[in-house]
C-alpha cells in the first residue's frame, strides 16, 4: 500500500510527521474531552434544567447522533476539498457550538446547540486522521502513530472527569463547555501554521441521497430507543420510528452499491478485518459510553459524591486507557491486532459483569480494580479498531475510511447512552438514589455482552487480508 499524492500548502511545507501527529491528535482530544466533561455535568444539568433520564440522554446523544450522521460525509469532503481546510472549518464550528452551549437558557436550546457542536466535531476527526495516515505511509510507523492518536483520546478521558468535576464544583455546569474553547482556538491556529494539506488524487462525488438516509436512520433509531420507556415499545410512535430506521437502512443497502462513489462503501464489509473492526468499534464504544453515563449517575446520585470526587474516582479507568493505547499500538506494529482486540473483549466483559454487582457500600478498592480493568480494555481496543479499518483501504480514501471508523465509534456512543439509559429508565422505580442499583443491573450486563461481542470479533477478524474497494478509486492504491 503506497501513500496517495498530497498537495502541501506553502506555509506547512516540510512539516515533520511528529509535529503533524501532535497537532492532529489535539482534535481527537477535544472530542473526548467534550464527551467526558459533559457526562460528569449531566446530574447538575438535570437538576438545573429539570430534565429526567430521557432529557439527559438527549443532551448527550444530540451531539453524538449529529456527529455519527455527518462523519462519512465529512471524510469524503476532506478527501475532495482538502483535509486541512475541512479540519479548520470543523474546529471553528465546534468552538462556536461550545460557547453557545455554555449560554443555553433551557434544555431544548442546549440540545439544539449540541447539534451544532456535533456538526463541527464531525469534520475534525476524519480530516485529521486522514492527514496522519498520509504522513505515515509505512505500516509499522503508522501503527505506532495510531497508538499515539488513540492515546490522545485516553488522555482526554483522564483530563475530562477531573477538569469537569473542578469546573462544575466551582462554576456550575455551564463551565464544562468553556474548556473546549481555548483548546479549539489553539488547534485552529496550529493547524494553519504546521499541518500540510492533502486530498485524494481522484475526488469523490457527493452522495446526498446516502447522506439523507444515514441521518434519518440514526436519528430515528436513537429517538425510538430513548423515547420508548415513556411511549411504550408497542406504541405507534415507537414502531413508526423503528420502521423508519429499518426503511432507511434498506434504502442504503439498495442505493449505495449502485453508486460509483457511495457514501458507505458496502464492498469493504466483505473483508473480515474491516467488518470485525467496525463491529468492535460499535460494541466497545457502546460499553464505554454506557460506563461513563452509569458511573456518573451512580457516584453522584447514589454515593452522594461531588462532581470533583466523581471525576477523581473515574480517574483510574482513564489512566489505564491512556497508558494501554500506545502499548497496543506498539504491539500491533510487531504482531498485529489480534492479541489487543481479544484482550480488550475479555477485560470489557469481565469488568462490566463485576460492576453489575455494585452496591451503595461497594469499597473504593472494588471500584478502583473494576474501573482500571475497564480502562485496560478500552485502551487496548481503540488502536486495534483504528488500525483494522485504516489498513483495509487504499491511502487515497483515508478520509472516507477515517469517517467510517469515527462513525462506528459515534454510533456506539449514541447507542451506548441510549440503550443503557433506556434499560435504566424502564426499570427505575422511585428516586434515582433508592432505585438506581437494581435498575442499572441490566444495563451493566448489556455492556458485558458488548465486551463478549468484541472478543468474538477479535477472534474472527484479525487473521485475513483486507479487500480493496472496487470502482474507479481502486487504482488509488
Which residue matches cell numbers 452551549?
Answer: 101
Q: Is the pLDDT of residue 190 over 80?
A: yes
Q: Is the pLDDT of residue 229 over 80?
A: no
90 part of a folded domain: yes
For residue 95, the model assigns a pLDDT of 93
For residue 353, the model assigns a pLDDT of 93
Q: Give tens-digit pLDDT for 311-366.
A: 788 878 878 887 887 788 788 877 778 888 899 999 999 999 999 888 888 888 89
203 part of a folded domain: no
45 part of a folded domain: yes
31 part of a folded domain: yes
201 part of a folded domain: no
Which residue matches cell numbers 489553539?
Answer: 186
Domain encompassing residue 304: 14-194+208-476
For helices 338-355 and 272-297, give the axis angle rounded to 10 degrees. Answer: 30
DSSP H/E element including 223: helix 208-231
Alpha-carbon span 157 to 314, nearest angstrom: 9
Q: Is the pLDDT of residue 3 over 50?
A: no
Q: Which of 120, 137, 133 is nearest to 25 (CA)?
A: 133
For residues 102 and 210, which has the higher predicted lDDT (pLDDT)?
102
Collapsed DSSP state (helix, strand, coil) of residue 309: helix
For residue 351, the model assigns a pLDDT of 93
**Is the distance from CB of 147 to CB of 383 less than 8 angstroms?**
yes
168 part of a folded domain: yes
159 part of a folded domain: yes
**Is the distance from CB of 325 to CB of 474 less than 8 angstroms?**
no
For residue 299, the model assigns a pLDDT of 87
Q: Give tens-digit pLDDT for 294-320.
A: 888 888 888 888 877 887 888 788 788
For residues 204 and 144, which has the higher predicted lDDT (pLDDT)?
144
Q: Give tens-digit pLDDT for 420-464.
A: 877 887 777 766 666 788 888 888 999 999 999 999 988 876 654
What DSSP state is assigned to residue 263? S
How many domains does the chain contain in total? 1
The CATH number linked to 284 is 1.20.1250.20
Which backbone phi and psi does 398 adopt, to 5 degrees? -60, -35
Alpha-carbon span 419 to 288, nearest angstrom: 12
Residue 254, exposed/middle/buried by CB under 10 A (0-12, 13-18, 19+)? Answer: exposed
Which backbone phi and psi does 235 adopt, to 5 degrees? -65, 150
Amino acid at each position: 500500500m503506497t501513500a496517495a499524492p498530497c498537495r502541501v500548502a506553502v506555509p506547512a511545507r516540510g512539516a515533520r510527521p511528529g509535529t503533524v501527529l501532535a497537532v492532529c491528535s489535539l482534535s481527537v482530544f477535544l472530542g473526548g474531552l467534550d464527551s467526558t466533561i459533559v457526562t460528569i455535568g449531566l446530574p447538575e444539568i438535570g437538576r438545573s434544567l429539570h430534565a429526567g433520564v430521557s432529557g439527559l440522554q438527549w443532551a448527550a446523544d444530540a451531539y453524538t447522533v449529529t456527529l455519527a450522521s455527518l462523519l462519512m460525509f465529512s471524510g469524503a469532503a476532506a478527501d475532495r476539498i482538502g483535509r486541512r481546510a475541512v479540519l479548520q472549518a470543523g474546529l471553528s464550528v465546534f468552538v462556536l457550538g461550545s460557547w453557545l452551549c455554555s449560554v443555553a437558557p433551557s434544555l431544548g436550546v442546549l440540545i439544539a446547540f449540541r447539534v451544532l457542536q456535533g456538526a463541527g466535531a464531525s469534520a475534525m476527526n476524519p480530516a485529521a486522521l486522514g492527514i496522519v495516515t498520509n504522513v505515515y505511509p509505512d505500516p509499522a510507523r503508522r501503527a505506532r502513530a495510531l497508538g499515539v492518536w488513540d492515546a490522545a483520546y485516553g488522555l482526554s478521558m483522564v483530563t475530562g472527569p477531573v477538569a469537569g468535576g473542578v469546573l462544575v464544583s466551582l462554576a456550575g455546569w455551564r463551565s464544562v463547555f468553556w474548556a473546549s474553547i481555548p483548546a479549539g482556538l489553539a488547534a485552529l491556529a496550529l493547524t494553519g501554521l504546521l499541518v500540510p494539506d492533502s486530498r485524494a488524487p481522484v475526488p469523490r462525488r457527493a452522495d446526498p441521497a446516502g447522506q439523507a438516509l444515514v441521518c434519518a436512520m440514526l436519528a430515528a433509531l436513537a429517538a425510538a430507543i430513548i423515547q420508548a420507556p415513556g411511549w411504550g415499545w408497542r406504541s405507534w410512535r415507537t414502531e413508526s420510528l423503528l420502521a423508519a430506521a429499518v426503511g432507511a437502512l434498506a434504502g442504503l443497502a439498495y442505493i449505495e452499491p449502485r453508486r460509483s462513489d457511495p457514501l458507505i462503501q458496502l464492498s469493504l464489509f466483505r473483508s473480515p478485518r474491516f467488518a470485525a473492526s467496525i463491529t468492535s468499534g460499535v460494541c466497545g464504544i457502546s460499553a464505554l459510553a454506557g460506563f461513563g453515563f452509569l458511573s456518573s449517575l451512580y457516584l453522584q446520585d447514589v454515593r452522594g459524591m461531588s462532581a470533583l470526587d466523581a471525576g477523581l474516582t473515574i480517574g483510574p479507568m482513564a489512566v489505564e486507557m491512556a497508558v494501554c493505547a500506545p502499548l497496543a499500538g506498539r504491539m500491533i506494529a510487531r504482531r498485529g491486532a489480534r492479541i489487543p482486540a481479544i484482550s480488550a473483549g475479555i477485560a470489557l466483559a469481565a469488568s462490566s459483569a463485576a460492576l453489575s454487582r455494585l452496591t451503595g457500600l461497594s469499597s473504593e478498592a472494588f471500584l478502583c480494580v473494576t474501573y482500571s480493568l475497564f480502562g485496560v480494555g478500552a485502551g487496548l481496543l481503540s488502536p486495534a479498531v483504528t488500525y483494522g479499518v485504516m489498513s483495509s483501504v487504499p491511502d487515497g480514501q483515508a478520509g472516507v475510511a477515517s469517517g467510517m471508523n469515527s462513525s462506528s465509534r459515534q454510533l456506539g456512543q449514541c447507542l451506548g447512552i441510549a440503550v443503557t439509559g433506556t434499560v435504566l429508565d424502564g426499570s427505575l422505580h422511585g428516586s434515582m438514589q433508592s432505585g438506581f442499583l437494581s435498575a442499572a443491573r441490566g444495563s451493566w450486563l448489556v455492556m458485558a455482552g458488548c465486551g463478549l461481542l468484541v472478543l468474538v470479533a477479535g477472534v474472527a477478524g484479525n487473521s485475513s487480508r483486507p479487500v480493496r474497494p472496487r470502482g474507479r478509486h481502486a487504482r488509488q492504491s
